[in-house]
Structure 1
Amino acid sequence: MLQTRFTEAFGVPHPIVQGGMQWVGTAPLVAAVANAGALGMLTALTQPTPEALTAEIARTRELTDQPFGVNLTIMPIVRDVNYDEYLRVIAEAGITIVETAGRNPAPHMPFFHEHGIKVIHKCTSVRHALKAEAVGVDAVSIDGFECAGHPGEDDVPGLVLIPAATRRLSIPVIASGGIADAQGLVAALALGADGVNMGTRFLCTVEAPVHDAVKQQIVAASELDTELLFRPLRNTSRVSSNAVSREAVEILTAGGAFEDVVHLVNGERGRTVYATGDPEAGVWSVGMAQGLIDDVPTVAALVERMVTEATAQIARLGSMTASAVPA
């Protein structure tokens, strides 16, 4: 067992988090992660209404009695979102861990504190992490450039970003982006992190509510098979490289506006990918970590393998400091 400030503060056995993933962070996956001793996150905005989130929390509790959290992304999206209602549902359901992303969570911190909710805020830069610490979050998840989804606009990879954050923050730091195995976990801990967050790796597990053809696509792909979408709009998103994403990148690079690609990047098309198994049906998020993935294990097998191998690797590294035996 690997004990860190994160495991102690959030009450989970292993320093591994399954971050929020649109369309994917639902009860079957989250419960499997929780049952494996890691921290699973329901994605609130995958649920179309606050009432649907209430039902999904209940469904998760039918599958696990272990701690899990809710991811709430606070930013402009296509549909109108009543964040106050989602927050009410989270509190009334007795959820004690929330992962926030997008905008500064400061306006909501009094609510979280009032209801005894611990907050992990997802950041892509040290300056944003410092702001999150200043407004009272309990931990930050820091995304390196390798990550799926939004890596920010600074393009700093994890090998630099993680220690840059941990040397300046006093709260636990969760390393995110490019992590898919025990080596990534050990590296993150060595860089000063208190745990790791994984999206792409959990996407490629038996319990992930995604068509198996998509999982096999991830297994077959390399770290080179992603595209950086929306770069000219300074809202970069790392997605799978396919005909749709490449066309959208080409249009935007040539000076096109968001309106010129909205028919390509519509979120419902991405949802269709997961449902039908056609990786060319739309734009869907995946990280460079896919180049490290070569199987589709159960969540329990993945977490056990990571922790067991990480423990062995830490012991091996420790043995390297042993004094040489005199001749």
Structure 2
Amino acid sequence: MLVTALTKLLNIRIPIIQGGMQWVGLPQLAAAVSNSGGLGILTALTQPDPNALRLAIRETRKLTPKPFGVNITLLPTINPPDYEGYARAALEEGVMIFETAGNNPAHLVKSFKDHGCIVIHKCTNIRHAKSAARLGVDVLSIDGFECAGHGGEEDIGGLVLLAKAAQELDIPYIASGGIATGRGLAAALALGAAGANIGTRFLCTVESPIHQSIKDKIVASKEQDTVHIFRTLRNTARVYRNTVSEQVIALESLPGGARFDELRDLVSGQRGRRVFETGDPDYGIWSAGVALGLINDCPTCEELLRRMEREAEEAIKGMAELVQG
């Protein structure tokens, strides 16, 4: 049994957190991950409004007696969502674990900590991690270059970033990006992490709410099948390589680059949602990490987490045997 600062803090069996994925972090997946020994996460902004999040929390509680959390990602946008409303709804429903990401979460962290909640914050570099630690978050999720979605602008891989975190951070941290197997989990633990935040691998599980055709596409894909968009806008995001992402890159490559309003229709979140609903991988932009290359099947969350737990334990025991004398 793997016992880390994360398993103790969250009262979970396996030190794995399901990433807060847009359009994917729904009750059926979050509950399945929690029931399987990890920590499931509902994605607040997947719900159209705070009351819908309230109903999703209640639905999740019907599906699992285990702990689960809520992700609130603070986005750079002209018309920001009702972040405070989402947070208030979750608190009123008794949620005690939150994952924050994106812009400065100071106002949310204070509210969550005032209510005695546990806060996990996602960062893409050590500088931001230290700032979040000063705000009072309990756990830092360190996003390496390998991760899906917005991994920052510094392009530092997890191998260095996690080792640097071990040198610089005073609170528990977990690894995010490129982890889809128990061997990867063991590697993260060896680098000083207390666990892992996993997204892309959970896309391809039985309980994932996305279309089976997209799951099949993930199984057939390789680690080369992602690209970065929004490089020229300094808002880099790793997404699946398809006709739409290639169009975005082509526009960004023109002399002078491209304005966001020239890309808006191509990268619409609603188009990305339709990918997962209809099963057409080329309809819109959808996030995926390089962990694609490690995914060869579509198991249940229970099967996946038990496999990863076993693989990690075997890898750790194998490393222990290297020490002799």
Give 1:104 deviation, angstroms: 1.6
User: Take 1:60 and 1:32, find their aligned partners in 2: how far apart are those partners?
Assistant: 9
SS across alignment from 2:168: coil
Shift of 1:71: 0.2
Alignment-derived partner of residue 183 in structure 1: 183
Within 5 A, what are the aligned runs for 1:110-259? 110-254=110-254, 255-259=257-261
- Write the distance in 2 (CA, Å) between the matches of 1:174 and 1:198: 10
Aligned amino acid, residue 143 of structure 1: D
Give the whole-Å Cα distance in 1 for the aligned partners of 2:199 and 2:42.
12
Query: Per-residue deviation at 1:77?
Result: 3.5
Aligned to 2:14: 14
Identity of aligned residues (%): 53
Paired with 2:53 and 2:304, the residues of 1 have a C-alpha distance of: 27
2:80 and 2:197 map into 1 onto residues whose CA distance is 28
For the pair 1:52 / 2:62, whether they are aligned, the reply is no
2:211–2:277 contact (8 Å) kept in structure 1: yes
Ranges of 4+ aligned residues in structure 1 off by more than 4 Å: none
In the alignment, the residues of structure 2 paired with residue 172 and residue 242 of structure 1 have an alpha-carbon distance, to the nearest angstrom, of 37
Please state how far the C-alpha of 1:75 moved relative to its aligned partner.
2.2
Cα distance between partner residues in 1 of 2:96 and 2:317: 34
Tell me the alpha carbon deviations over residues 110-164 of structure 1, each in whole angstroms, 9 at most, x when there is no partner: 2111111110000000000000001100001010001000010000000001111
Aligned residue for 1:232, secondary structure, equals coil
Stretch of structure 1 that moved more, 79-88 or 185-194? 79-88
Which digits, 9 at most, give the CA deviation of each residue in 1:28-66, with x for residues without a partner?
000000000101110000000000000000000010000
Shift of 1:69: 0.2
2:308 maps to which of 306, 309, 313 = 306
- 1:100 aligned counterpart, secondary structure: strand
Task: Give 1:286's aligned residue.
Answer: 288
| Equivalence for 1:85 | 85
Q: Counterpart of 2:305 in structure 1: which amino acid?
A: V
The TM-score normalised by the length of structure 1 is: 0.97
How far off is 1:166 after superposition? Answer: 2.1
One-letter identity of the residue aligned with 1:209:
P
- Paired residue secondary structure (2:232): helix
Aligned equivalent of 1:271: 273
Q: Give the secondary structure class of the aligned counterpart of 1:48.
A: coil
State which drifts further: 100-109 or 77-86: 77-86
Corresponding residue number in structure 1 for 2:3: 3
After superposition, give the CA deviation of every residue in 1:216-263 in whole Å (9 maximum; x if it has no partner). Answer: 111111111111000000000000000110001110121111111111
Cα distance in 2 for residues equivalent to 1:83 and 1:147: 24
Distance in 2 separating the partners of 1:79 and 1:299 = 36
How many residues are aligned here?
Answer: 323
Structure 1: gaps (5+ residues): none
